[in-house]
Amino acid sequence: MNLPYRLIAGAVLAALPVFAEVNKPQEIAPGVWFHEGDIGRKGHCNNGWIIFGAYVLVIDGNFPSGAQEIIPKIRAQTDKPIRFTFDTHHHGDHAYGNQVWADLGATLVAHEGVLSEMKKYEPGYFAGGKPGRWEDTAKSREDVAKSKLHPPTLLFPRQMSFEDGTHRVELHHFGVAHTRGDGFAWLPAERILFTGDACVNGPYNSMGDSDTAAWVETLEAARRLEPRFICPGHGLMGGPEVLDNQIAYLKALRSEVQKLFSAGKSPAEVKAALDTIKSTIQRQESLATYLGGGFESQVEKIYVEMGGKPFQSSAAPARRPRRDDEVLARK
């Protein structure tokens, strides 16, 4: 990348307002676009696309309807072929639109963990057995019912790069986070980081396929890139504080659950403490925006990770804390 382009990109970033409008593409830097999807009404994730000298790289496959929605928006900017689509992880709102991109001639790219997770959760496709998540989603989404699952075919274990003298985009896997296959798209010259759902901006955290302790470590590894702009999987784009807040929310939630677990609280007692946990987190204004639907399942997930029983096993006796729990409780 030549010096004039770096100067142009820096000037654009410096002047860029940190906001976006749902369903309206925003050019973050020359040839680098962010699109906030309509999660509320359509379940769509955020997308990005980078216009290289000879082709386009799209970030996230979305649902089929989400893919079809942004294609004309990409075409309004360029007629270059869409050669690659990068799935940041295996969830339907980020990968079930893959067939749409494949039909345009795009190669589907992902960390190898994305394929592993699909094999785990999509047995109907891979093993011809019982229905998986695709079939369940198709019951409620017409766009999924009319499409078909298309797993990624170009896989990487840790890192893959795209570069042509116009842009450099690095795809990274820093470890387990929101899922076991989370990938990040990093533009080092522009210092822009597309995170998928490993980092969201608002009440959009889903923890069912996560490991929350590893998630914190993964995000801290991503933060060491020192990004200037964060393009999350859901919610508004913003500055590095978006990543900081996601990390702080996970740490705060784990800390509150740890106190209860270390005190030997039963599943019923932890569930009864949901409002107390929530009010404690709400005291930190920057974290209050992460509270919303699914909060109970988040607390339950962390409690089970720490060794507790699921909430439906509320009759289980209180657990006596081990010596190492007592140490943690005093920290």
Residue 246 lies in a domain: no
Task: Residue count of the chain, please give it.
Answer: 331
Mean of the pLDDT values across residues 185-190?
98
* pLDDT > 70 fraction of the chain, expressed in percent and rounded: 88
Q: Do 63 and 32 sit in the same domain of this protein?
A: yes
Q: Do 199 and 293 sit in the same domain of this protein?
A: no
Q: Is the pLDDT of residue 8 over 60?
A: no
pLDDT category of residue 19 using cuts at 50, 70 and 90: low
**Whole-number Å distance between alpha carbons of 57 and 252:** 36
Tell me what the pLDDT averaged over the chain comes to: 91
**Whole-number Å distance between alpha carbons of 104 and 57:** 12
Residue 247 lies in a domain: no
**Whole-number Å distance between alpha carbons of 258 and 152:** 37
What pLDDT, on the 0 to 100 scale, is given for residue 35? 98
Residue 11 belongs to domain with CATH number? 3.60.15.10
What would the pLDDT profile of 72-84 be if each residue is shown by its tens digit?
Answer: 999 999 999 999 9
The tokens for 204 are: 């959009």
Mean of the pLDDT values across residues 136-165?
97
Q: Determine the 3-state secondary structure of 211 from DSSP.
A: coil
Q: Do 107 and 76 sit in the same domain of this protein?
A: yes
**Whole-number Å distance between alpha carbons of 111 and 76:** 30
Kindly report the pTM of this predicted structure.
Answer: 0.89
Residue 248 lies in a domain: no
Q: Do 269 and 157 sit in the same domain of this protein?
A: no
What pLDDT, on the 0 to 100 scale, is given for residue 20? 61
Total structural domains within the chain = 2
Mean of the pLDDT values across residues 138-160?
98
What would the pLDDT profile of 277-326 be if each residue is shown by its tens digit?
Answer: 999 999 999 999 999 989 999 999 999 999 999 998 544 444 443 333 33
Give residue 49's domain range.
Answer: 3-239
Neighbours of 19 (CB within 10 A): 10
Q: Do 135 and 7 sit in the same domain of this protein?
A: yes
**Whole-number Å distance between alpha carbons of 187 and 99:** 26
Residue 29 lies in a domain: yes
Q: Do 128 and 203 sit in the same domain of this protein?
A: yes
